[in-house]
Amino acid sequence: MSNRITQLFGIEHPIVAGGMVWCSGWRLASAVSEAGGLGLLGAGSMTAEVLREHIVKCRQATGKPFGVNVPLMKPDAPELMQVIAEEHVPVVFTSAGSPKKWTAWLHERGIKVAHVVASSTFATKCEQAGVDAVVAEGFEAGGHNGREETTTLCLIPAVRRATSLPLIAAGGIATGEAMLAVEALGAEGVQMGTRFALTAESSAHEAFKQRCLALDEGDTKLLLRKLSPTRLVRGGFFDAIEQAENAGASADELLGIIGTGKSRLGIFEGDLEHGELEIGQVASLLKGSEPPTVQQVFDELLDGYRQAKTRLTGC
Amino acid sequence: MSNRITQLFGIEHPIVAGGMVWCSGWRLASAVSEAGGLGLLGAGSMTAEVLREHIVKCRQATGKPFGVNVPLMKPDAPELMQVIAEEHVPVVFTSAGSPKKWTAWLHERGIKVAHVVASSTFATKCEQAGVDAVVAEGFEAGGHNGREETTTLCLIPAVRRATSLPLIAAGGIATGEAMLAVEALGAEGVQMGTRFALTAESSAHEAFKQRCLALDEGDTKLLLRKLSPTRLVRGGFFDAIEQAENAGASADELLGIIGTGKSRLGIFEGDLEHGELEIGQVASLLKGSEPPTVQQVFDELLDGYRQAKTRLTGC
């Protein structure tokens, strides 16, 4: 599976663990990198100093490359970037903002840059901005999501046509079969969030993991279209948002319902009733009484990928 | 590409053209069957006597097997089924209702039955009802859609686990690459609506085809969740629905806005402003100034499939 993605990041398998709020600390990121993928720290839920601590611990736990995901709309993005540069992190995944803003700055410091998009229009902007790889994330993905609502099956071919950049598919991918499927569509690697959020090494609360490992089809929905479209898990918080939206609530009214700190409350502190729970649609494929380890996930992914390839081609 | 789907229907390629309202008349169905796929007449927009006329003309145009799609919630479904039996149509695809209702009756008359589902729960019901094949259709699909909003990438593996029935994937599939992708997920055939709705042989209005061949990502959306979730194309009708929904319109209020005969007005009569326009999300991948013929579509699909397979496996 050596290709442009593995060569770009210096990794063994073209499998990236999304840098998720309240899930992607040093334990998860280092375990993914140790297993031969690219682990990402999720700076979306970290202050600059907390990020520094996680970078230091991640480096102590693995000698292999890892990266940081930085949501560019975060007010302290400049401080986060400063820490990343000072700590010589080799890879940054940027999202939720313009790829033009930080790419040159990061490149000047020898840092590889991938940017997350939900449309071919933004993929073209990535190419113009000079990023090293593009992550195309479909409607299935958990958490924040594109306004176009384009699914991974429709998005990957569109982005593949729009750019010649190394292409990582995201959204709805949790198995080796799905890795092969998006490769058929033109992707050269995958970013998985949900699958790694629900591992032993994820810093999410155990109650959150258990809830997400028991979801049925239809138990996540994209809501909050009047603010920033977000895929949420059914529960008290979800119901409050959905009812308000059905009744025609305005963006301001929705902000009032959301309040602050709800994703920490739900994902990190495990309050399934009042907290905001974010996970991808593909969670309903992942049943189990106990979250697997990252190494178990990698073993299953690689095995499933090989089996699907044999089934598909006889070779 | 001989497999359980080709053997079940007696066709050359496991490619079904969805039976679409106002698109799938005898010209389209017979052209698809002539090209080696399975053409379906769309009885959703036909009276029993119109259906009989189309069956007769379809049989005159091709000696190969074809079928009829019957939405079971249609009040005249019994009359449609009677015509199908009298005219000895070999295949029926049922949708929008319980697979238990007609399967035995059709089987007694020697007619093969496939049923369209949007969840693994309904796939299990299909197996219990004894249908011959299941069509699993994802969120990307045009027109009426499942409440779970499960995308094709997440749905196919779930249905594959739920049933051992021959499995046809639908929603978001318009290219040979996508055919290969869903095969990687466990599908044994594909049903394509959008791709065939936008061919020369489709009975849709030329203005509708031109509009759909010029769509960008995000130009279709799933609306009408308070009634029956439906994927619509942006335009005057879409805007009226979306605005009403954003303001909290009730199901009754939405029914008032929809009125009657709007899909005929939009798709068949080409009123892009006042009519209801239904197409799949994947339309944005299909650019072109002129709708291709069905044979051109088949040539492209099979060529694209082979190329993707070679690229993926080197064999």
Asked, for residue B268, whether it belongs to a domain, the answer is yes
Is the same domain home to B131 and B252?
no
Is the same domain home to A148 and A79?
yes
Is the same domain home to B19 and B31?
yes
Is the same domain home to B185 and B246?
no
Could you give the ipTM of this predicted complex? 0.97
Selected for mutation to probe chain B from A139, A155, A179, A217 (highest B CB count within 10 Å) is A217
Cβ within 8 Å of B, A 103-162: 119-121, 138-140, 147-155, 157-158, 161
Is the same domain home to A169 and A298?
yes
Is the same domain home to A81 and A47?
yes
The per-residue DSSP string of A15-31 comes to EEE---TTT-SHHHHHH
Cβ within 8 Å of A, B 227-246: 246
- β-partners of residue A70 are A94
Asked, for residue B315, whether it belongs to a domain, the answer is no
Asked, for residue B312, whether it belongs to a domain, the answer is no
Is the same domain home to A261 and A301?
no
Chain A touched by B252 (CB under 8 Å): no
pLDDT digits (tens, 9 = 90+) for A186-214: 999 999 999 999 999 999 999 999 999 99
pLDDT digits (tens, 9 = 90+) for A39-55: 999 999 999 999 999 99
How near does any CA of chain B get to the CA of A250, in Å?
Answer: 8
Phi-psi category of A214—alpha, beta or left, where left has phi over 0 and alpha has psi -120 to 50?
alpha
Per-residue confidence in pLDDT tens, chain A, 315 aa? 799 999 999 999 999 999 999 999 999 999 999 999 999 999 999 999 999 999 999 999 999 999 999 999 999 999 999 999 999 999 999 999 999 999 999 999 999 999 999 999 999 999 999 999 999 999 999 999 999 999 999 999 999 999 999 999 999 999 999 999 999 999 999 999 999 999 999 999 999 999 999 999 999 999 999 999 999 999 999 999 999 999 999 999 999 999 999 999 999 999 999 999 999 999 999 988 899 999 999 999 999 999 999 999 876
- β-partners of residue A82 are none
Is the same domain home to B199 and B239?
no
Domain residue limits at B225:
206-284
CA distance linking residue B99 with residue B33, whole number of Å: 25
Is the same domain home to B293 and B164?
yes
- How many structural domains compose chain B? 2
Asked, for residue A97, whether it belongs to a domain, the answer is yes
C-beta atoms of A181 and B185 within 8 A: yes
CATH of the domain at B34: 3.20.20.70
Is the same domain home to B197 and B215?
no
Asked, for residue B61, whether it belongs to a domain, the answer is yes
Which one-letter amino acid corresponds to residue A134? V
Asked, for residue A313, whether it belongs to a domain, the answer is no
- β-partners of residue A191 are A16, A170
Asked, for residue B314, whether it belongs to a domain, the answer is no
Is the same domain home to A141 and A217?
no
- β-partners of residue A114 are A93, A133
Q: Which two tokens stand for residue A287?
A: 């049943």
C-beta atoms of B151 and A172 within 8 A: yes
Asked, for residue A315, whether it belongs to a domain, the answer is no
CA distance linking residue B274 with residue B265, whole number of Å: 7
Is the same domain home to A181 and A211?
no
Taken in order B294, B296, B297, B301, the sign of the CA dihedral is positive
